[in-house]
């Protein structure tokens, strides 16, 4: 056996060297993992506590690209401080009146005490007017329906006459359409759970209305409004273009000791939004939501269920979302990863959005939008794709920039669909905005009572969001429609959708003017 100078055998020395190399490799891996986790932690902290805006500073980009020299420190403390560079000031918006002109006016006249006592001695030469906002809280009332019974004077043997009872949402139902509309709007627009409404009625109006009664009332509203929500979906699919997204919602599952997770699938089109309740995220729920007769474009994110749906429905074409691409590059830029290059990419995406903003402000039609996109947006997209392809060989796949680049290239065929189809938007932000009311509401009402009850909330959210799209008051709409529905036929449903109702109201106002 051969011994080294330290008294150890050569075999033992080789083993120690290999062990040292293994440990050094392990330490390097741990260092890389720690750096990666610190990066994720920084991203999480910025997401919760940092700046949410994705706006970029032009001067910072010029500095990173070497177009301007870095600022030099002053030679002494007595040197003049350079004047700060400020952004160009945005033009001020015209100031709205302090009190809207369309409100009813209640006039109160106050005269000096000497004038009140001896008014004949004074003559008015002017007046001073001041205005304030005021509000009268809602109040309860009993709506008593009296059906009087009549008999002919000259025929005492004739059958007495009594007017038939008008159609109602529910026979012997306690809650009138106005109260049902108020409870529904308070929960799904103002995000007030039923137990809070019960407390408010008790404390402010001395009216005890159990939340179980209100829950049955909301169930009654959903049952009657379901055909209207179905008609809204039919009207949305006529254009051949919709945006779809999903959001998780918990529901009670008796016997499991905890809540389970369901989903609201939201379909957004030019005419409104439709919510669909499902117990999962499988593509079968999408196939159930979109009828087989639908042919057109579905704009969505990169969730695999959409691809599986498109594979089974060849008449459906998917379109990508540039907001998701921009979000990934912005996250990498915020964390100082490939800063100059990422900011240039964000600037190019910003140019795409400026083109869309100009088209939106000019109210360009689909054909004009497609023509301008092909002439102005396509060159920008070609530059981006060329850079993305080059960056794939230079970046680590698991880095934030690498993930963003790979995501963009994997979705590229879907991201350029909007160029040739003028009706398609550049992103699916509209449907994400339509999801927000449900996301805000679940922070207050927390969960749905049962899996089988999810469709009721979906129906009401469909009605509420469609009212919002068409600029009408959900309370006024629900009160009117719930009053008329019991006496209507099925073929009249298209005339009371939020879109049709808003059109009828505008026509009424126009004829009255």
List CB contacts of 513: < 8 A, sequence separation 6 or more. Answer: none
pLDDT of residue 256: 63
Q: How many whole angstroms separate alpha carbon 230 and alpha carbon 130?
A: 50
pLDDT at 79: 41
Q: Which residues of 386-418 are buried (b: 16+ CB within 10 A; e: fewer)?
A: eebeebeeebeeebbbbbbbbbbeebbebbbeb
pLDDT of residue 78: 43
What is the Cβ-side half-sphere exposure of residue 365, based on CA atoms within 13 angstroms?
1
* pLDDT given for residue 52 in this prediction: 55
Mean pLDDT, the chain, whole residue set: 81
Residue 449: pLDDT above 80?
Answer: no
pLDDT, one tens digit per residue, over 465-492 is 899 889 999 999 999 999 999 999 999 9
Residue 275 and residue 273: Cα distance in Å, rounded?
7
Which stretches within 88-139 are classed as H helix? 113-117
Give me the pLDDT at residue 492, please. 93
Q: Say what the pLDDT of residue 255 is.
A: 64
pLDDT at 401 over 50: yes
Angle among Cα 310, 312, 313 to the nearest 5 degrees reads 60
Residue 269's H or E segment, with its range, is strand 259-269
Instruction: Check residue 85 and give its pLDDT.
Output: 45
* pLDDT-based confidence at residue 83 (cuts at 50, 70, 90): very low
Out of 49-58, 295-304, 390-399, least confident range? 49-58
Least confident of 125-134, 238-247, 486-495: 125-134
The predicted structure's pLDDT at residue 184? 92
Report DSSP state, residue 296.
E
Whether 76 has a pLDDT exceeding 50, the answer reads: no
H helices of 145-210, in order, are 177-188, 194-205
pLDDT at 497: 93
pLDDT digits over 316-363, tens only? 999 999 999 988 888 888 777 667 788 888 889 999 999 999 999 988
pLDDT tens-place string over residues 369-388: 999 999 999 999 999 999 88
User: How far lies 284's CA from each of 304, 308, 390, 442, in Å?
Assistant: 12, 9, 38, 25
Do the strands 241-252 and 296-299 form a parallel or antiparallel pair, or are they unpaired? parallel
Q: What is the distance between the alpha carbons of residues 280 and 286, in angstroms, rounded to a whole number?
A: 10
Tell me the mean pLDDT in the region 31-43.
Answer: 75
Average pLDDT for 197-207: 88
Question: What's the whole-number mean pLDDT along residues 9-20?
Answer: 80
- Asked if residue 405 lies in contact with residue 391, where contact means CB atoms within 8 angstroms, the answer is yes
């Amino acid at each position: 056996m051969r011994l080294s100078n330290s008294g150890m055998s050569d075999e033992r020395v080789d083993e120690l060297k290999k062990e040292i190399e293994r440990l050094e490799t392990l330490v390097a891996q741990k260092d890389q993992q720690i750096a990666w986790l610190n990066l994720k932690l920084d991203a999480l902290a910025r997401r919760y506590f940092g700046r949410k805006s994705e706006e970029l500073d032009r001067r910072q980009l010029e500095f990173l690209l070497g177009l301007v020299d870095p600022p030099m420190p002053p030679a002494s403390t007595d040197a003049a401080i350079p004047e700060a560079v400020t952004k160009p000031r945005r033009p001020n918006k015209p100031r709205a009146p302090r009190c809207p002109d369309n409100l009813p006016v209640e006039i109160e006249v106050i005269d000096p005490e000497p004038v009140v006592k001896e008014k004949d001695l004074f003559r008015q030469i002017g007046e001073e007017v001041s205005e304030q906002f005021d509000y009268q809280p809602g109040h309860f009332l009993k709506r008593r329906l009296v059906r009087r019974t009549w008999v002919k004077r000259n025929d005492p043997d004739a059958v007495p006459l009594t007017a038939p009872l008008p159609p109602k949402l529910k026979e012997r139902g306690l809650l009138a359409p106005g109260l049902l509309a108020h409870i529904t709007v308070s929960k799904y627009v103002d995000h007030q759970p039923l137990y809070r409404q019960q407390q408010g009625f008790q404390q402010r109006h001395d009216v005890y209305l159990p939340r179980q009664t209100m829950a049955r009332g909301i169930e009654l509203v959903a049952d009657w409004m379901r055909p209207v929500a179905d008609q809204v979906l039919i009207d949305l699919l006529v254009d051949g273009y919709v945006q779809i997204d999903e959001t998780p919602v918990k529901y009670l599952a008796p016997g499991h000791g905890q809540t389970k997770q369901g989903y609201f699938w939201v379909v957004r089109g030019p005419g409104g939004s439709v919510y669909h309740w499902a117990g999962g995220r499988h593509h079968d729920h999408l196939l159930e939501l979109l009828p087989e007769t639908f042919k057109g474009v579905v704009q969505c994110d990169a969730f695999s269920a959409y691809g599986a749906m498109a594979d089974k429905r060849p008449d459906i074409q998917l379109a990508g979302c540039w907001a998701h691409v921009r979000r990934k590059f912005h996250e990498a830029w915020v964390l100082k990863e490939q800063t100059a290059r990422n900011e240039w990419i964000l600037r190019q995406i910003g140019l795409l959005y400026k083109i869309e903003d100009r088209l939106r402000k000019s109210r360009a039609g689909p054909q004009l939008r497609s023509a301008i996109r092909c002439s102005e947006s396509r060159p920008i997209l070609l530059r981006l794709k060329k850079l993305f392809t080059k960056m794939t060989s230079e970046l680590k796949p698991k880095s934030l920039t690498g993930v963003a680049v790979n995501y963009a290239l994997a979705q590229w065929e879907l991201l350029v669909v909007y160029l040739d189809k003028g009706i398609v938007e550049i992103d699916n932000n509209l449907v994400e905005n339509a999801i927000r009311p449900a996301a805000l509401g679940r922070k207050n009402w927390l969960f749905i009572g049962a899996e089988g009850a999810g469709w009721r909330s979906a129906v009401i959210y469909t009605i509420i969001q469609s009212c919002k799209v068409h600029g009408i008051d959900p309370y006024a709409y629900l009160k009117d429609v719930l009053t008329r529905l019991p006496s209507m036929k099925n073929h009249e449903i298209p005339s009371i959708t939020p879109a049709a109702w808003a059109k009828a109201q505008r026509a009424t106002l126009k004829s009255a003017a």
